[in-house]
């Protein structure tokens, strides 16, 4: 994954590097924007779109706290992936990203 990332940054990906996947992660981080709808690239079955993280006010029950929010957008092929499973995946990913320490346990 690290090698592919470096090849992408260096604009040296080959067609062979882009074959055989069934899930894509696409980021607008460097471009900006607030959200987007990623399109599934057939024959893949899903794509996760990640928009830039921004500080947002979040109500804590008594007042607003500044929180870093990372917009995620999951698109998937309903012929292959059940919507409930996709929602569970997104919820699990959100839970892991809320406290990154959980990835170390």
**Residue 40: other Cβ atoms inside 10 A:** 16
What is the pLDDT, as a whole number, of residue 4? 87
Catalytic residue among 78, 83, 99, 105: 78
- Residue 26: what are its φ and ψ, rounded to 5°? -125, 135
CA distances from 5 to 8, 15, 25, 74, 101 (A): 5, 14, 12, 21, 24
The tens place of each residue's pLDDT in the chain, 105 residues long, gives 789 889 989 999 998 988 888 999 999 877 878 889 999 988 899 999 999 999 999 999 999 999 999 999 999 999 999 999 999 999 999 999 999 888 887
Q: Which CATH number fits domain 22-103: 3.30.559.10, 1.10.1060.10, 1.20.1260.10, 3.40.50.720?
A: 3.30.559.10
Dmax of the chain from CA atoms?
A: 54
User: For this structure, is 78 an active site residue?
Assistant: yes
Distance CA 39, CA 46 (A): 8
């Amino acid at each position: 994954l690290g090698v592919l990332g470096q090849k992408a940054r260096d604009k040296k990906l080959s067609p062979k590097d882009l074959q055989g996947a069934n899930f894509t992660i696409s980021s607008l981080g460097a471009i900006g924007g607030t959200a987007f709808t990623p399109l599934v690239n057939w024959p893949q079955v899903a794509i996760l779109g990640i928009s830039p993280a921004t500080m947002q006010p979040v109500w804590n029950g008594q007042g607003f706290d500044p929180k870093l929010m990372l917009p995620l957008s999951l698109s998937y092929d309903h012929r292959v992936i059940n919507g409930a499973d996709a929602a569970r995946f997104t919820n699990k990913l959100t839970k892991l990203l809320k406290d990154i320490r959980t990835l170390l346990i």
